[in-house]
Amino acid sequence: DTAVSQTPKYLVTQMGNDKSIKCEQNLGHDTMYWYKQDSKKFLKIMFSYNNKELIINETVPNRFSPKSPDKAHLNLHINSLELGDSAVYFCASSQTRQINQPQHFGDGTRLSIL
Amino acid sequence: AQKITQTQPGMFVQEKEAVTLDCTYDTSDQSYGLFWYKQPSSGEMIFLIYQGSYDEQNATEGRYSLNFQKARKSANLVISASQLGDSAMYFCAMREAYNFNKFYFGSGTKLNVKP
């Protein structure tokens, strides 16, 4: 019973390609997130959706486009991939207005650009 | 200003000894929550422990405890009786009541447990 699942786990592709990462949570949470973790392990928030509405949009190139078809799903599409996009991308979810509730993370998608 | 500061990029500890991982935070909110996560080499993020700003007692979860000093704005993680499996990255994070949806993460501390 995976709480937050993201696919694929690994993504190896060439520069210039377009790719998508999917995320689903079965925790009933109303907020979902995308994070990028670079090679130095720094976690950077990219986007957050609350009940399908975009609420956090950090400084991210517009080649990255999130989509939330419903509150249990948050997908990330990346156009024209660049070498600097190589990283681990984490999906996470949380419940709003319950400050003691942590984020739950997926296992990450390791994206490698050749 | 950084919301969460972890000043120890790397730490070593002998197996079976205790270790403290430092975390300081910056907020003007009276209501906030502090979290610690563990990230082993396999990559997943594992929630360890939570401390609320109004909690009078330090949080404990098994071998993990939180040394919460509100006036100093510090929330250090203490791992007792270290095990080899504790070798991992550890992240401190904060959530503020006025902006529930955002979690602020520190840069992490890499802990190595020596046999």
Write the CB contacts of B45 (distance below 8 Å, at least 6 apart in sequence): A90, A92, A105, A108, B37, B38, B39, B91
What is the DSSP code (8-state) at residue A26?
A: -
* Contact assignment for A99 to B100 by CB distance below 8 Å: yes
Q: Which residues of A touch B (CB under 8 A)?
A: 31, 33, 40-43, 45, 48, 50, 55-56, 88, 90, 92, 94, 96-100, 102-105, 107-108, 110
Residue A96 has pLDDT above 90, yes or no: no
- For residue range A6-50, what is the model confidence (pLDDT) as tens digits? 999 999 999 999 999 999 999 999 999 999 999 999 999 999 999
- Nearest CA distance, B43 vs chain A (angstrom): 7
Residue B26 has pLDDT above 80, yes or no: yes
Residue A57 has pLDDT above 90, yes or no: no
Q: Give the tokens for residue A5.
A: 């699942």
From CA B88, how far away is CA B82, in angstroms rounded?
12
- pLDDT recorded at residue A98: 83
Q: How much is the average pLDDT of B43-59?
A: 96
- pLDDT recorded at residue B100: 81
* Contact assignment for A96 to B101 by CB distance below 8 Å: yes
Determine contact, residues B76/B18, Cβ cutoff 8 Å.
no
From CA B96, how far away is CA A81, in angstroms rounded?
34
Average pLDDT, chain A: 93
Residue A3 has pLDDT above 70, yes or no: yes
**Pick from A88, A103, A108: which is nearest to B103 by CB?**
A103
A60 versus A12: which is more confidently predicted? A12
Q: How far does chain B reach from its first CA to its final CA, in angstroms?
A: 38
Q: Which residues of A touch B52 (CB under 8 A)?
A: 99-100
